[in-house]
Structure 1
Amino acid sequence: MTHPTSAMRSAKPGPHRRETLREALQTSVDMLFRRRARDIPEGYIDDYVALNWLEWRGGDLKLTPLGGEICSEASGRSETHAALAPPEHAELVRQGAKAAARGDTACSNPMSSTQNGPEATGESQERWTQRSEAWLAGHDLQSAMARLTRRGADARGEETPAIRS
């Protein structure tokens, strides 16, 4: 992996290599996000930097606007109108519900964070929206259940039971 201060820059890859890199970009960005750069095939990072799809910022590799477009195009081919996988959806709903049970507001949705936005992750806007909405659904459901529980207890003149998750 070439460091940004290296004097040597690799030449831009040819069309065949570029298509291979295009197909692997989203997976590579996911690996970078998970701090698993060692799992990216040899030479890919140097080629992504040479193509201006990734850039070094503050010692970290970041997706460039051009790289984001490439990811969006690739994601658009594979994710168009595809729903989240049920386990991922269920996990995000569970996380939202736990946040509500802790007393966190809907504004604490981790999808609202810049580091989890489509520009940072390279995922499509549609996929990001699905994730954000799944988290909010869990938060809203837990919040509604807590309100109902409190109203029922208040109507009976009881103390509000603690909600555990």
Structure 2
Amino acid sequence: MKIYTRTGDDGTTSLFGGARVKKNNVRVEAYGTVDELNAVLGIVRSISRDEKINEIVQTVQNLLFTLGADLATPFDVKSPKLKRIGEEDVKLVENFIDELEAELEQLKNFILPGGSFLSSVLHLARAVCRRAERRIISLSEVEKINEKVIPFVNRLSDLFFVLARYANKIEGVDDIKWGV
């Protein structure tokens, strides 16, 4: 099977359900940014030597595929093969955050992105996640979307922030305090 189909040569792509839209459609921007986030997480996994970080990130990468499919499928399209983001996914991310925060000192200052290389890439993931959230909100203003998607993505950016702090901790690097 060839990777190229030539069907997108006119600047359009297919959504789940069969509709074709322009590649700069707000829906495509939303799930495309989620794909970009997943690629950043691939970098995280390639440089991390920590089993806990890698397990969490791999779980999140799988959830991002679910999220991408959810966003690529208009809300009125139903399919028994489609899994949408649910409350259990939001809770899973919250549990990851709580588990990691239990191992960190309480945050008393704003911190700058950086520290270790791994932490820096996790901060990049956080920033890309926030952009995905903005794209998803734009989509939600013009089309109905799954109501669990925005809370899920909001929690993910919090998770990446906590993971960045955790990466600095395990690598023995201090977080960089803002203004200090």
TM-score normalised by length of structure 2: 0.29
TM-score normalised by length of structure 1: 0.31
Which structure shows the higher helix fraction? 1
Greater relative contact order, per chain length (Cα 8 Å cut-off, separation 6+): 2
Structure possessing the higher radius of gyration over alpha carbons: 1
